[in-house]
Structure 1
Amino acid sequence: MAVPSAEDRVSQALAAWSAGDRVQALSVLDEAARAGADSARYHMLCGIVARQTGQLDVALAAYRRAIEREPELAEAWFNLANTCVLQGDLPAAVEAYEATLRLNPAAFQAWNALGSTLTALQAYARASQVLRHAVRIAPDFAESWNNLGRLCWQVGEVGEAIAAFRRAVALAPERAEFHSNLLTLLHYDPDCSGAQIAAEHRAWAERHAPAVATAVPARQSDPRRRLRIGYVSSNFRHDAAGVFIASALCHHDADAFEVYAYCEAPDADALTARMRAAVAHWTETWRLDDAGFARRVEEDAIDILIDLNGHTGRGRLRAFSRRLAPLQFTWLGYEGATGVPAMDALIADANVAPVSGDLHGMEGVIRLPYSFQCWTPPDAAPTPAPRSSREPVFGCFNKPAKLNLGVLASWASILLRVPDARLVLKSAAYADPMARERVLAILTQHGVAAPRIEFRGASSYAEMMRQYADIDVALDPFPFSGGATSCDALWMGVPVVTLRGERFSANHTVSHLAAAGFPEWIADSQEAYARIASRLVTDREMLAMLRLSMRGVVAEAPLCNGRLFTRHLEIRLRTAWQAWCAEAQR
């Protein structure tokens, strides 16, 4: 019998790998290496193996050797591009995807990946062209529709984003993350009712996290004992959620509560270090699948498990559906209830979830006093500086997706009331003309001259805070209001005007202003919103006084009082535990 050649062994290894037999594939690949294999296919398979085992540098080198031996091998270029994405070298990935498509223009997966990478690079106009081509040539590939939805979301085309996500869900109903993207976008849509939002959440739960007859984990039903509290989040860092999470993690009573943090992302910074040092147990769970995550929580015997992601990225709602703790709550990272039957309650307050309101049959509600969030001010922020210009300036540093037709029409009416005022809009998305043109077109249609609108792109957090020195009054969007952005403005001495709404997402800033001590900037109608904003921006003495005094007021208010906030949170958690114990002892 003839001895298999090196290339024969490469073919065998590739077949074994494709069949999922990794042990056999690696064994035969090793034989091919000893036989002197040096073909493009051999090096490409070495790259695939290296990438799957986390050796990204080895994989890149292998793919490049494959390309050196066969420059026309489109698959090697595609694998090279995918590995560049994993390493964070997005410009190199774009070059490799483009090379793939020059060799194989019908490679719809490469079109999709190129569009996704361009979106990450904020090259939105180009990404739009690429992703629209991707869905034209492969209209049944759900991934492209999802990425098109993400692109439209980032540039503010919410209606088109919702349509794209619906298409992705229809094509791949098993992909929970596509459906979660749709749920999140519905909160941005002013035309979507609370009942419609709730119905879509229930549909997600029925498909991905249905109610199951799972026994409640056994725990000692002692209402007074030290409780094990587990927090689950991908935002244990300085971001829009992390600046609120930190207040609770850093101020728990360690004698009464043993805190476990389950970290769902590898990203870390100084705030991560502060939170990690404050808790009794910190576990990196982002590498675990849901089954592994569930085992870890069960081993820790958690009494109360708190979800901090909801339907945002890297959430664990499907794991929560297994009932991992006697009590399970959702809090802070999402725009309200999740719809998951195993989630016992949403932690909120009377502004974001009024007692008279309706969650449409989803979770119960635990209401905190003051606010459902407590903000952690930045360690270093510039001192608020008096405005040197006499020209009135409104500002909004929120993402374009929050600036719907109604918001922009309202802002246009305010600018027409104050004819010498300007509007500064800041977001990373505005670096690309696609995001700017939509907003500018709507405002000019309502009679606002283009020179009165200034767009600013991305900057560091410190630089963003410094740019509040150019703003007199911050305008809060609706029905999806600002969160951390509103707190940033208040910290820099800039008043924020907001419109009370009917849904959770509409009332973030309402809650923050009430907890900061400035309820007079909360409007109950669009007319009142315009009136408050117009009056504030023209009251130079008031603005000057606020600029110099507001930080001190905010620092002493419940909005920033982590100890006060956490004591009230602990009271609610203890009360819920006592109720569970009473029920368990019956």
Structure 2
Amino acid sequence: MQSAVMFAKAVDAQLNGRPDEAKDLYKRLLRRHPDASEVLGNLAVLVKKDGQVAIAEQMLRRAVRANPQNFSALTTLANIRLAEKHWEEAKEFNDAALAIEPHYPDAIVNNGVLLVHDNKLDEAEQQFWRAMTLDPRNTTARMNFANVRRLKKMNVEESIEMLKSIVEKQPDNALVHQMLCSSYQETMKYVKALEHAYAAVEASKAASDDALNAVATTHVVLGELEEAMAYYEKSRAINPNNVVTGTAYLFTINYDDRKTSEDVFQEYRKHAKVISKNSKIYNHEKRAKIENRRIRLAYSSPDLYTHVVSFFIDPILRNHNRSRFELVAYANVIKPDEHTMYLRRYFDKWVDVTQMNDEEMAEQIYNDGIDIVVDLAGHTFGNRLSALSMKPAPIQATYLGFGYTTGLDEIDYFIGDKNFTPTGSEPYFSEKLLQIEAPVYAYNPPRHRTPDVCEPPAMRKGYVTFGTMTRMIRLNNRLLSVWKQILDRVPGSKLRFDQKTFEDPETIERFYRRLESLGYSRDRVELTSTLEHWNGYHEFDIALDCWPHNAGTTTFEALFSGVPVISKRDRVSVGRLSDMVLSPLGLGDWVVDTEEQFVEKAVQMASDIPALAEIRQKLRPMMENSPFFDFQGRTRALEAGYMEMVRRYNEQR
């Protein structure tokens, strides 16, 4: 058979679902023509689908050496490097392919994936749309288009339908399953999300760190901490340099009651090395002292919209001394809203960094001549710690958004107070602890949404309702077992879990079964999601706090709604959040040191309904007259901290 005929037969077999026949023909051709570039490239695609990625890569490199104009081989090489997160090399291969054939759909899709990595979602969406226009049957373009719309939080339901249509035709496509997992999480259908996460793991030819992460993150949302940690550890074993995995792992480990403070801190230090690895470091040695001018103060945050962080940072921004500070925002806000526009007016300069990669953002901060940059996110979604790891400002701090160390040497200060980060906390922070006047936070609730305080529900229901609005990840099994002891001690009492997670019937059933495995009876538990969550506090007599990671915002909300909060101190900072809130109110005795004391405090409080009614009427006025609502005082205290940072910096000039 002539080589040209054999090649045509091989291509026909490849395109029409006869891969074994195609591989056999390509191998016979290579015995005749060892350096046939197109043959090598086509065979590599088939070998790659079999999971033999390393062999496929060798063939592709041979194909490119034999014919540097083989744009198809270059594109597939780029795709392999993308899957392995070798971004720069992937870009080199893909740029070479596009230079040869700028209208090749697969290379255009690769370009879109690279743009997503660089946070340039609008440009990425255009690339995926262009690829779909050029090749309407290109499923990779379609699934990436759907995914980028999800990342932009636009038409998520439509994205799900697009992805479902693809997975019906390609049930073994791990990437589509991962995208469906993320999309179902966006719509709070977590059991369905978990199904697709496990399908992604099963579909992976070899265990994929991204597929394992999908399983882990879904278990996190469902509050199944031990399962989540196990999958994160598997993922990190495969790819210890995955920054996204590491960040999610650090977020989760704070809630793991099996870990010590030292265990947790060491994990943060390990991951900091991954974030900082190969990062450019800016040199500030030649900078002059900061004096005789306004201090250029910047805040870096993804949460400058209608987000709980805004309730704490808004009163600070509103009261900053503008004659002393020039304010700059580095806003990584994926979907800005009306509140974003409201917050913008407080800044002298607003920089949208959503479309900037880390290097570009760091360069922007450096060129803006920022004196102090304050991270407001820590290891939460949308953080830009990788940019700050390049030390673009001479003074860098973290505050408010996370509650624990970043682990980075390049962040100079963690801003705390005597209750939140008491003496003895220092060994568990990579940053210097800067203690400002307590309390460390201001709080400005959305008053247009907060209803008036009502009487305790026990007075109309005839039984005490304990409650929580915390995220499920805080609900470890040890904690739930202690809470059950309270129900056992208080006859007729009920425990109410109120959060958005319980809008999904499948999630409700799954959590009921978990509680039953711990000895709970369904008739003593209420799982609900109050549409306007502030109204949910009307149904709590007493709020129960969690450990080892205390609640944060929901503690403020409960107190402002007149609901007393019982808490237990635990590990450094995240286990001191309730101390930070309750002690300045003179309610430090509601924070105990042991599980036994926690149970006794709850039983004691539940035994006196008239006292609960009295407390309920006093709590909101106590909050309103507390230091948390002294917005100028909290701002001056924080500014004093910034001035201390500047003083120390100037001493070193």
Higher relative contact order (CA 8 A, sep 6+): 1
Whichever residue aligns with residue 114 of structure 1, its letter is L
Aligned to 1:78: 143
Query: Which string of whole-angstrom CA distances, capped at 9 and with x for unpartnered residues, describes residues 197-243 of structure 1?
Result: 11111111222215987532543315564311111111112323222
* Kept after mapping to 1: 8 A contact 2:71/2:97: no
Aligned to 2:238: 171
Aligned to 2:586: 517
Is 2:184 the counterpart of 1:92? Answer: no
Aligned to 1:121: 187
Whichever residue aligns with residue 412 of structure 2, its letter is D
Name stretches of at least 5 consecutive residues in structure 1 with no aligned partner: 1-10, 30-40
Given the superposition, is the C-alpha separation of residues 566 and 371 from structure 1 closer, same or farther in structure 2, using an over 3 Å criterion?
Answer: same
Is 2:453 the counterpart of 1:453? Answer: no
Is 2:228 the counterpart of 1:154? Answer: no
Aligned to 1:194: 261
Given the superposition, is the C-alpha separation of residues 286 and 141 from structure 1 closer, same or farther in structure 2, using an over 3 Å criterion?
Answer: same
Whichever residue aligns with residue 348 of structure 1, its letter is G
Is 2:171 the counterpart of 1:105? Answer: yes
* Kept after mapping to 2: 8 A contact 1:351/1:511: yes
Given the superposition, is the C-alpha separation of residues 477 and 437 from structure 1 closer, same or farther in structure 2, using an over 3 Å criterion?
Answer: farther
* Partner Cα distance (1:161, 1:285) in 2: 31
1:344 to 375, 394, 412: 412
Is 2:492 the counterpart of 1:420? Answer: yes
Which secondary structure state, in structure 2, belongs to the residue aligned with residue 414 of structure 1? helix
2:396 to 318, 328, 344: 328
1:272 to 340, 352, 356: 340
Deviation at 1:488, TM superposition (A): 0.9
Is 2:544 the counterpart of 1:475? Answer: yes
Query: Which string of whole-angstrom CA distances, capped at 9 and with x for unpartnered residues, describes residues 377-406 of structure 1?
Result: 113111112243332111100111101112
Deviation at 1:297, TM superposition (A): 1.0
Query: Which string of whole-angstrom CA distances, capped at 9 and with x for unpartnered residues, describes residues 462-503 of structure 1?
Result: x11012111111111111111111111111111111111132
Which secondary structure state, in structure 2, belongs to the residue aligned with residue 278 of structure 1? coil
Given the superposition, is the C-alpha separation of residues 447 and 318 from structure 1 closer, same or farther in structure 2, using an over 3 Å criterion?
Answer: closer
Given the superposition, is the C-alpha separation of residues 282 and 178 from structure 1 closer, same or farther in structure 2, using an over 3 Å criterion?
Answer: same
Given the superposition, is the C-alpha separation of residues 413 and 292 from structure 1 closer, same or farther in structure 2, using an over 3 Å criterion?
Answer: same
* Partner Cα distance (1:409, 1:567) in 2: 43
Which secondary structure state, in structure 2, belongs to the residue aligned with residue 230 of structure 1? strand
Given the superposition, is the C-alpha separation of residues 136 and 518 from structure 1 closer, same or farther in structure 2, using an over 3 Å criterion?
Answer: same
Aligned to 1:6: none
Name stretches of at least 5 consecutive residues in structure 2 with no aligned partner: 1-68, 77-92, 116-121
* Partner Cα distance (1:334, 1:552) in 2: 28
Question: TM-score, with normalisation over the residues of structure 2?
Answer: 0.78
Aligned to 2:621: 552
Which secondary structure state, in structure 1, belongs to the residue aligned with residue 652 of structure 2? helix
Question: TM-score, with normalisation over the residues of structure 1?
Answer: 0.87
* Partner Cα distance (2:354, 2:134) in 1: 33
- Show the 5 A alignment for 1:53-72: 54=123, 56=125, 63=132
* Kept after mapping to 1: 8 A contact 2:569/2:579: yes
Whichever residue aligns with residue 383 of structure 1, its letter is D
Is 2:568 the counterpart of 1:496? Answer: no
Whichever residue aligns with residue 467 of structure 1, its letter is G
The alignment's C-alpha RMSD in Å is 3.0
Whichever residue aligns with residue 504 of structure 2, its letter is D
Given the superposition, is the C-alpha separation of residues 582 and 537 from structure 1 closer, same or farther in structure 2, using an over 3 Å criterion?
Answer: same
Whichever residue aligns with residue 517 of structure 1, its letter is G
Which secondary structure state, in structure 2, belongs to the residue aligned with residue 258 of structure 1? strand
Deviation at 1:292, TM superposition (A): 1.2
* Kept after mapping to 2: 8 A contact 1:148/1:164: yes
Aligned to 2:476: 404
Given the superposition, is the C-alpha separation of residues 22 and 249 from structure 1 closer, same or farther in structure 2, using an over 3 Å criterion?
Answer: farther
Query: Which string of whole-angstrom CA distances, capped at 9 and with x for unpartnered residues, describes residues 48-106 of structure 1?
Result: 98997648589669848955xx6xx6446535543553562233323322322232232
Which secondary structure state, in structure 1, belongs to the residue aligned with residue 643 of structure 2? helix
Which secondary structure state, in structure 2, belongs to the residue aligned with residue 259 of structure 1? strand
* Partner Cα distance (2:429, 2:108) in 1: 53
Query: Which string of whole-angstrom CA distances, capped at 9 and with x for unpartnered residues, describes residues 159-193 of structure 1?
Result: 11112222222223332111111111110001111
* Partner Cα distance (2:409, 2:554) in 1: 32
Aligned to 1:288: 356
Structure whose alpha-carbon radius of gyration is higher: 2
* Kept after mapping to 2: 8 A contact 1:377/1:560: no
Q: How many pairs align?
A: 555
1:315 to 375, 380, 383: 383
